[in-house]
A and B are shown apart, each in its own frame.
Chain A
Amino acid sequence: MKSHLLLQVLARYLIPLILLFAFYVQFHGDFSPGGGFQAGAIFSAAMVFYLLAFGLPAAERVLPPSWLRILACFGLLLYAGTGLVDVLLGGEFLNYSVMAKTPLEGQHIGIILIEIGVGMTVASTLTLIFYAFAHWSRLP
């Protein structure tokens, strides 16, 4: 891994910035272009960069695949659960207007919740796919 020194030095400075930008896109998504899917893709791009610079074992120590599987399922659960909570509160599936006192506030809460779910699922699934590719390329 010594030959990857240049990449590793750059990764040390860039990966925090990329992760920060992913969170910016995630939480600014309801005011500007962006949202869960884009944020998840950027987040997993940071993980792909980490894997390329430091290798598969190190990446799997940072974000173990077992955690990622749980995270992917939890994101989907958050999305569907938000919809079901709306049903329980007396609205239709994914009708956020019933989630707070005023419809506007409810829409705000609902969209942020499902975007977090989307972001978690996309980030962990894309990272898992890349892990699978990396494992595959190591086969004899």
Chain B
Amino acid sequence: MMWEGLSALLLFAGALLGLAGAMGLHRFPDFYTRLHALGMTDSLCAFLVLAGLALQEGLTLASLKLGLIFGFLFFTNPTSSYALGHAARQAGLPPMETKHD
């Protein structure tokens, strides 16, 4: 019973973070800030959702697989953000400058 509640909490938090990332992607003004919004939230979002699902499952093969998926995302997600940002920088995309009044 307690695990169910904890799992629901984790899933909800993960969904909320995913929503925040999507809003950032939609609303932020330029490439780098959008990448920042997604790169920051996505890893934790994936962790929360997978942990919530694993709690529902208990100690089975399925939760082991969820753990493996998390390990995969844990390494690939930051690397893909890094590669995107690096490629944009090398291609010469200038970051948006803030106006100081």
What is the minimal beta-carbon distance from A13 to any residue of chain B, in angstroms? Answer: 8
Give Cα distance in the complex from A14 to B72, angstroms.
8
Segment of B5-13, B27-35, B79-87, B92-100 in the binding face? B79-87
Instruction: Count A-B pairs with CB separation below 8 Å.
Output: 16
Q: Is the CB of A10 within 8 A of B86?
A: no
Interface bin, chain A: under 10
A6 to B80, alpha carbons, bound, how many Å? 10
A10 surroundings in chain B (CB, below 8 A): 75-76, 79
User: Could you say which residues of chain B place their CB within 8 Å of the CB of A52?
Assistant: 83
Say yes or no: A7 contacts B83, CB within 8 Å. Answer: yes
CB atoms of B75 and A14 under 8 A apart:
yes
B90 touches A (CB below 8 Å)? yes
Identity of the chain A residue whose Cβ is nearest the Cβ of B86 in the assembled complex:
A3
Measured in the bound complex, the distance between the Cα atoms of B71 and A17 in whole Å is 12
B79 contacts A6, C-beta separation under 8 Å:
yes
A residues in contact with B86, CB < 8 Å: 3
Q: Can you pick out 6 interface pairs between chain A and chain B where the beta carbons lie within 8 Å of each other?
A: A3-B86, A3-B90, A6-B83, A7-B83, A10-B75, A14-B76
Cβ-closest 7 pairs across A and B: A10-B79, A7-B83, A6-B82, A10-B75, A6-B79, A7-B79, A3-B86
